[in-house]
Amino acid sequence: MKRINDLLEALGSALILAGRAFASLPSAPRILKRVAEQGYLVGYTTLPIVTILCFFIGAVLALQAGNTLRDFGAKQLIGTLVGESLARELGPVMVAILLAGRVGSAVTAELASMKVSGEVDALVTMNIPPERLLVLPRLIAVLLAMPVLTMVGNIIGWFGGAVVCAQVKSIGVEPEMYFQSLKQYLTIRDITDGLIKAEIFGFVIMLIACSTGLRTRGGPREIGFAVTKSVVFSLIAILTLDYFITKALS
């Protein structure tokens, strides 16, 4: 019962936090510098890892699917399979998991540390809403960065698949055929559905990270717990939401 109460309390406070953050949206022009700083952290510094991760996801997909499709005589469809899988599912989910582990944990640790050391209370006494200064820039940054990261991840993943198809002799699909099959069946809707997912995942991850960080009380041990909690909740939220968003979009 206590766990359910805690969960509902966490959910409620996250929603209140989002409401308060967006209530200060009219002051967004004044926080552009902070949005840019957060955009750099969320987007630019995550990009290399997204690139590596998505390249190998595309490569593994092509390798696994290539051998099976070859047996069925349908290896010309590898491009479609890799393209669709990455655009609709693996691209947004893997980027979101990466974001939760890399950015979500860092944000929780930073905000929890600020909370524990009294910096957040200092903002409150100065009548500067922490939601405006600490949460809103991060939410805007993640909403701007997620589609870009996901799209870059998709493209790199598609190229990863193309490289494997061309280089692995047992598959032996030329890049022209691979991309032709990818273009033939992949629709704009597939890509936009994936980007919608990515936006929702990014928003939820950042909200969980900020909310968990700002609810931390105690000392260094609690900061560690908060980071773990934030990452675990984010992963659960990503996979749970993935099902419901997929169902809603299909």
Partner 1 sequence: MKTPAPPAVTDRVARPTKTRRPVLARDDLSPVKVTVEGLTKSYGSQRVLTDVSFEVKPGEIFTIMGPSGSGKSVLLRHIAGLETPTEGRVTINGQDPSLPETRDRFAVALVFQSGALFNSLSVYDNLALYPLEHRICPKKEIRDRVMRALTILSIETAANKLPADLSGGMKKRVAIARALVMEPQLILYDEPTSELDPVMGATIAEIIATLKEQFTVTTIVVSHDRDMAMTISDRIAVVHQGRLRTVQTPSELKASKDSVIDEFLNPRIDIRNPRFRQLENASS
CA–CA separation, 42 vs 205, rounded Å?
12
- Interface with partner 1, residue 5, by CB under 8 A: no
**Nearest to partner 1 of 124, 236 (CB atom):** 124
- Interface with partner 1, residue 126, by CB under 8 A: yes
| Closest C-alpha to 64, from 213, 164, 192 | 164
Size, binding site for partner 1 by CB under 8 A? 17
Of the residues 89, 119, 222, 242, which one makes contact with partner 1 according to CB under 8 A: 119
Q: Which two tokens stand for residue 213?
A: 């960080």
| Closest C-alpha to 89, from 183, 197, 3 | 197
Radius of gyration for the alpha carbons in the chain, expressed in angstroms and rounded = 21
CA–CA separation, 206 vs 43, rounded Å?
13
Spell out the residues 6+ positions from residue 126 whose beta carbon is closer than 8 angstroms to its own. Answer: none
**Nearest to partner 1 of 131, 190 (CB atom):** 131
Report in angstroms how near the CB of residue 185 gets to partner 1 at its nearest. Answer: 48
- Interface with partner 1, residue 36, by CB under 8 A: no
Considering only the stretches 13-21, 121-129, 178-186, 204-212, report the one whose residues sit in contact with partner 1 under the rule CB under 8 A. 121-129
Considering only the stretches 42-50, 122-130, 159-167, 203-211, report the one whose residues sit in contact with partner 1 under the rule CB under 8 A. 122-130
**Nearest to partner 1 of 83, 130 (CB atom):** 130
DSSP 218: S
If you search the block for the tokens 């009380």, which residue do you land on?
Answer: 217
- Interface with partner 1, residue 176, by CB under 8 A: no
Q: Site residues (CB under 8 A) for partner 1?
A: 29-31, 33, 114, 117-119, 121-122, 124-129, 133
